[in-house]
Amino acid sequence: MSATDLTREGDTASMIAGRFVDARLKARGFSTYPGQAPTSMSEAYETQDAAIALFPDRIIGWKVGMVPPAQQATLNAKRLAGPIFARNLWHAGTAPTLLPAIADGFAAVEAEFVARVGAVDPAKMDWTLEEATACIAALHVGVELAGSPLSTINDLGSAVVASDFGNNGGLVLGPEIEDWAARLDGIEVETTVDGAVIGRGTANSIPMGVLESVRFLIEHLARRGRPVSEGTLISTGAVTGVHRVQIGARSVCAFSGVGEIHCTVVAAGT
């Protein structure tokens, strides 16, 4: 799939979405945005919604990512969202979880805190932090596989990231954090890749906090006409950073007092 094949003037959101979905399903990477890149979040979510309609799976959760400060005023956004599909949810066990990455695309591991929501009022459009926090039924540790067929996705701005499922390739769900409200701030997180420590952080490493990610996501989806349902998972943001990985990489995300999640990156489609 060449840049010539992928880039044409006058592309609609549905055409661009189709190219992303086709590349994901065939595990084909490319380096040029497949059409006219979005310049606003509304354009980005139009493409994302079109891709959701085309993707042959159901949504079981959503990832939340940060918009870099330099882009926030232009995009009028501090966070972005992308869907997580059932086929891309894995449960951490004793053996390393295999993370399928598109060989010529983008892949990264991110240590995350993952909220599981309870009942949410689908008609409510505006949410306070306290109201959203009350909807959290459980909090887990986890690992997001950031992934896209577009190898340059993180270089092209947050609107581009949002347009392709928020650059999500899947989620590893780890253990539940008992008494999470009292313990969350004290959990230290460390990420290693191939034995080297590449990031450390805590829940406070997420700008405005993990709970703000939950509030944002519930409100954001309500306003998009996609109110969250009970049991939805929310991956709240990269605690130790976004760590790009290649096929064969081995990562460990350790959460103090909770556990470790071991992953190995493999080629998608093999």
Q: Are 81 and 162 spatial neighbours (Cβ–Cβ below 8 Å)?
A: yes
**pLDDT score, position 4:** 33
Check residue 2 and give its pLDDT.
Answer: 35
**Where does residue 215 rank: exposed (0-12), middle (13-18), buried (19+ CB within 10 A)?**
buried
Instruction: Give pLDDT tens digits for 44-65.
Output: 999 999 999 999 999 999 999 9
Query: Is the CATH number 3.40.50.300 carried by domain 58-267?
Result: no
User: How many whole angstroms separate alpha carbon 270 and alpha carbon 263?
Assistant: 17
pLDDT average, residue stretch 131-144: 98
> Looking at residue 3, what is its pLDDT?
36
Quote the pTM value: 0.94
* DSSP secondary structure, 191-231, as one string: EEETTEEEEEE-GGGSTT-HHHHHHHHHHHHHHTT-PPPTT
Q: Which pLDDT belongs to residue 127?
A: 98
